[in-house]
DNA sequence: ATGGTGGGCTACCCA
């Protein structure tokens, strides 16, 4: 079972890119972020025509997440638990069954800039809520994959120019510590577990020629529970998509599980 | 140090 995460930065603006990627790459499961669409306006028909089941958790104008799956999809949960009054559409879960069931969560973690400030406070409180949910998922002892745009640069080697990010909410010590607190529950950063060293990025800003200069950061992650990590067969970043026509500022990151 | 780009949407917000 191959599971990919892709922040598409607007499903309507990116529909040709999305359909082209799904057709060429054929992930079994695709977790999308920043669909920037309400559920009723999501272009599900064209995606279903490619053989995918579609579950969305959208809102008007920004945020929004979705799960696309060629495999049976059950027990969908929309919204990160524990957020009284939080209307942001940033979390969706479902169980995907290949040769065995895998609990999959797609997430769009708050950006948090400017920091400090209320947006940074929201990011950190959202991460604490995520930690609680991550602990509850671990307790099931099922294979769990939590994948998406984490808006966290875990280590200096995950940025081409780490010195440019020191005051940014994506790299501040509080954000990285909160990310580590989730990892330390028992999750594995799938890409980093298999590919050591610098130079591996999933996001390049549209501005200032970031792509042409390879001024990237690695902020799209797939975290695996121990039961999922035991099934990990391969991982990769589809960086070539960033150089294609009308790209998202993110590219897909994927894992192959023996499941 | 500043400004640079892009999506959603109609006055600016978000990244």
- Residues A213-238, mean pLDDT to the nearest whole number: 98
- The answer to whether A111 CB is within 7 Å of strand B is yes
| pLDDT at site A34 | 98
**What CATH number was assigned to the domain covering residues A2-257?**
3.60.10.10
Cα–Cα distance, A209 to A218 (Å, whole number): 17
- The answer to whether A246 CB is within 7 Å of strand B is yes
Question: Which chain A residues in 140-159 sit with Cβ < 7 A of strand B?
Answer: 151
- The answer to whether A13 CB is within 7 Å of strand B is yes
- The answer to whether A208 CB is within 7 Å of strand B is yes
Q: Find and give the residue nearest to B7, measured CA to C1'.
A: A10
| pLDDT at site A248 | 98
**Torsional class of A96: left (φ above 0), alpha (ψ -120 to 50), beta (otherwise):** beta
Q: Which nucleotide is nearest to A61 (CA to C1')?
A: B8
| pLDDT at site A28 | 98
Cα–Cα distance, A107 to A83 (Å, whole number): 14
Q: How far is the CA of A109 from the C1' of B15 (A)?
A: 12
Model-level pTM? 0.97
Q: How far is the CA of A258 from the C1' of B4 (A)?
A: 44
pLDDT digits (tens, 9 = 90+) for A45-100: 999 999 999 999 999 999 999 999 999 999 999 999 998 899 999 999 999 999 99
Q: Which nucleotides of B are covered by protein (CB under 7 A)?
A: 3-9, 13-15
What contacts A32, CB < 8 A, 6 or more positions away?
A6, A7, A8, A11, A18, A65, A66, A67, A68, A106
| pLDDT at site A171 | 98
- Residues A148-171, mean pLDDT to the nearest whole number: 98
- Residues A4-24, mean pLDDT to the nearest whole number: 98
Residues of A designated as active site: 108, 149
Q: Find and give the residue nearest to B3, measured CA to C1'.
A: A208
What contacts A84, CB < 8 A, 6 or more positions away?
none
| pLDDT at site A117 | 95
Provide the pLDDT confidence category of residue A149 given band limits of 50, 70 and 90. very high
Q: How far is the CA of A104 from the C1' of B9 (A)?
A: 32
Q: Report the mean per-residue pLDDT for chain A.
A: 97
- Residues A127-152, mean pLDDT to the nearest whole number: 98
| pLDDT at site A259 | 96
Residue A15, both tokens = 């529909």
Q: How do beta strands A101-108 and A144-149 pair?
A: parallel
- The answer to whether A98 CB is within 7 Å of strand B is no
| pLDDT at site A209 | 94
Provide the pLDDT confidence category of residue A162 given band limits of 50, 70 and 90. very high
């Amino acid at each position: 079972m191959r599971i990919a995460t892709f922040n598409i930065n607007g499903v309507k603006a990116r529909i040709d890119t999305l359909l082209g990627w799904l057709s060429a790459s054929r992930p079994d499961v695709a977790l999308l972020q920043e669909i920037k669409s309400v559920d009723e306006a999501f272009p599900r028909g064209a995606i279903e025509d490619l053989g995918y089941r579609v579950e969305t958790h959208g809102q008007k104008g920004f945020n929004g997440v979705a799960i696309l799956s060629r495999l049976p999809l059950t027990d969908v949960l929309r919204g990160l638990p524990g957020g009284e009054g939080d209307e942001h559409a940033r979390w969706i879960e479902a169980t995907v069954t290949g040769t065995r069931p895998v609990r999959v969560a797609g997430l769009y973690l708050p950006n948090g800039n400017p920091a400090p400030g209320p947006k940074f406070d929201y990011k950190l409180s959202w991460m604490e809520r995520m930690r609680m949910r991550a602990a509850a998922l671990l307790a099931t002892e099922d294979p769990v994959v939590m994948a998406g745009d984490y808006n966290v640069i875990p280590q200096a080697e995950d940025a081409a120019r780490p010195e440019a990010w020191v005051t940014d909410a994506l790299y501040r010590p509080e954000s990285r510590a909160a990310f580590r607190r989730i990892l330390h529950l028992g999750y594995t950063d799938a890409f980093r577990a298999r590919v050591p060293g610098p130079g591996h990025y999933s996001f390049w800003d549209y501005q200032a020629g970031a792509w042409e200069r390879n001024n990237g950061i690695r902020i799209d992650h797939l975290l695996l529970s121990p039961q999922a990590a035991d099934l990990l067969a391969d991982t990769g970043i589809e960086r070539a998509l960033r150089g294609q026509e009308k790209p998202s500022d993110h590219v897909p990151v994927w894992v192959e599980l023996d499941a």
